[in-house]
Chains A and B, each alone.
Chain A
């Protein structure tokens, strides 16, 4: 048996359409079988509501008396991209306010517009014969705009990694706060209720597919940026009219220590045209596998800690190394259900019709990492290999003499096997003299917890470590903790200077 989009739209118009949410579908297929479910159900609605950083809006302001071509623009202090003709901009959700930082950003501007609040516009232009004005300050509301079109480059991930942190310090990520020693796991997405897991072959979702976006009836533009369905990570580019949106389904948010993001509600209807589509919509949380990855690593390819299903993630805990670790979502399952149910209601009441996609979305494509041609500087290239060391039983005076002679502030302390045991700085020595320490041996005054680097790591990582610990140098060591060199902040400063001069 087959159904056409026209058959389904006919039933939507005459009020006989049968719509269920993706949550209800697996049980229906179990009960009626695939062909029975195809006869009984016309449309499956999906929904998701989560942090989708890759979102934003095109705004058109209309022309002012004494026209201006706005080249630089700020909305409530948040810079919007104004390099588009004269009186348009694109405001990105993650752009941060120049005064309020991560507490207010592009997502908040969009939220304020939907709430009906006035937003301050400040813009500059160079002034030309056709656009003589050079600056403008104005206030506007959503109603004043000709267009406010949400265009989100990357929404509604097919699947997303779950996050944990294997290091010994807490980290602040776009996946939330991750406690040290993998004490928590966070994940995103509504699992089997999410749009793309219900159409993994993109047989019905394509350019032009009508969707629910932030409360408005919107459209799929096509594949999203970083679309990688071949790896299970398909994405959608979506658009909708902000004037029809509601704060129930669009919310600005801040991930502390990371930045601004926007919670977006996306719902996609899946018209059941044939048995293959029905089979896909019968997906359950236990069928969907994702990886828990270590966000503690600062490299692109994060190690996979464990593979899990959405059923396990949603259960509230996952076992790692024999320990039950608490999980929490950062997307809202309650809101995802609201999206799927609201979309269902709109189809049932005839205000939302199905349409065939005008262009298909590639269902096998894989995303590529950046092809980098610049040289990545390694610690080994920047470190100083001529350095002095001292042993722990030497006196503070001997340490001071060595530091003066070598014209340095950092003196690694080594044991008889040449292994690093501590570090003495000029500050430690001053402190020892000021406090009149009785035991004036190096081992008594040295810092034992030495911050180190390894030769083959990129200097950018080492530089960040210097900043985080507020120190002037890192000791470069091999795996056996033997000292290979010193990486000084001055040398890194020279490197940065060199970059800017190029």
Chain B
């Protein structure tokens, strides 16, 4: 699953993610990160069965962890099911079902935002 980790001014000072990996022994994949001197966020991918252990190890003042679920918001009134988003997204968030209706698997999203930028109907947006 994907974890959205945000750091406040205090949280960015320490090697919190590295420490949590060492402490828990759980490998994680850093999918995106934006961190500067004041604050920041990072999107981590972690195996479902290890997530709880990792979250516990990551708990620290200045660090907030949230399970990322509905990253892509899909406005089905605006969407015409063209499917242009499907090949633009390299993370397989989008697909067609048998009736050529667009399906959105938000859990795979790494928040690159390309789908939202290039949707001709402006029917997709990101929720960070």
Is the pair B80, A184 in contact by a Cβ cutoff of 8 Å? no
CB of A256 within 8 A of CB of B87, answer no
Is A378's beta carbon under 8 Å from chain B? no
Query: Is B81's CB under 8 angstroms from A328's CB?
Result: no
Closest Cβ of chain A to B119, distance in Å, is 8
B101 & A334 in contact (Cβ 8 Å cutoff):
yes
B5 within 8 A of A: no
Chain B neighbourhood of A326, CB < 8 A? 86-87
| Distance, CA A172 to CA B118, complexed state (A) | 9
Bound complex: CA of A183 vs CA of B86, how far in Å?
12
Residue of B nearest to A103 (CB): B122
Q: Is the CB of A329 within 8 A of B122?
A: no
CB of A330 within 8 Å of the partner chain: yes
Residues of chain A with a CB closer than 8 A to B121's CB: 251, 253, 263
Q: In the complex the two chains form, what is the Cα distance from A184 to B81 in whole Å?
A: 18
B83 and A329 contacting across the interface, CB-CB below 8 Å: yes
> Smallest CB–CB gap between B87 and chain A, Å?
4
Contacts A326-B86, A326-B87, A328-B85: A176 and B80 contacting too (C-beta < 8 A)? no
CA distance A254 to B117 in the complex (A): 10
* Contact between A328 and B118, CB atoms less than 8 A apart: no
A159 CB → nearest B CB, Å: 18
Which A residues lie within 8 Å of B118 (CB)? Answer: 172, 176-177, 255-256
Looking at chain A's contact residues, the main secondary structure is: strand
Bin the interface of chain A by size.
20 to 34
Asked if A217 is at the interface of the complex by the 8 Å CB criterion, the answer is no
Find chain B residues with CB under 8 A from A333 CB: 81, 83, 100
Taken together as a complex, chains A and B put the C-alpha atoms of A179 and B90 apart, in Å, by: 10
Interface status of A327 (Cβ within 8 A of chain B): yes
Residues in B whose Cβ lies below 8 Å from that of A334: 80-81, 99-101
Instruction: Give Cα distance in the complex from A184 to B82, angstroms.
Output: 15
Q: Which residues of B contact A185 (CB under 8 A)?
A: 87
CB-CB contacts of A300-318 with B at 8 A, as 1s and 0s?
0000000000000000100
A186 an interface residue at 8 Å Cβ cutoff? yes
Question: Is A51 interfacial (CB-CB < 8 Å)?
Answer: yes
Interface residues of B in 75-110 (CB under 8 A from A): 80-88, 90, 96, 99-101
Interface residue A261 (Cβ < 8 Å from any Cβ of B): yes
Binary interface encoding of chain B residues 41-84 relative to chain A, with 1 for a CB under 8 A from any of its CBs, else 0: 00000000000000000000000000000000000000011111
A331 interface contact, C-beta 8 A: yes
State whether B100 touches A184 (Cβ < 8 A).
no
Q: Which residues of B contact A183 (CB under 8 A)?
A: 90
Question: In whole angstroms, how far apart are the Cα atoms of A49 and B81 in the complex?
Answer: 10
Q: A494 to chain B: closest CB distance in Å? A: 37
- What is the interface of chain A, defined by CB distance below 8 A to chain B? 49-51, 172, 176-177, 179, 183-186, 251, 253-256, 261, 263, 316, 325-335, 337
Give the A-binding residues of B (Cβ under 8 A): 80-88, 90, 96, 99-101, 114, 117-118, 120-122
**What are 11 A-B residue pairs whose CB atoms fall within 8 Å in the complex?**
A51-B120, A177-B84, A184-B87, A186-B84, A186-B87, A263-B120, A325-B87, A327-B86, A328-B88, A329-B83, A334-B101
Known: A255-B120, A333-B83. 18 other contacts (CB 8 A): A49-B80, A50-B82, A51-B120, A177-B114, A316-B86, A325-B87, A326-B87, A328-B83, A328-B84, A328-B86, A329-B83, A329-B84, A330-B83, A331-B82, A332-B80, A333-B81, A334-B80, A334-B101
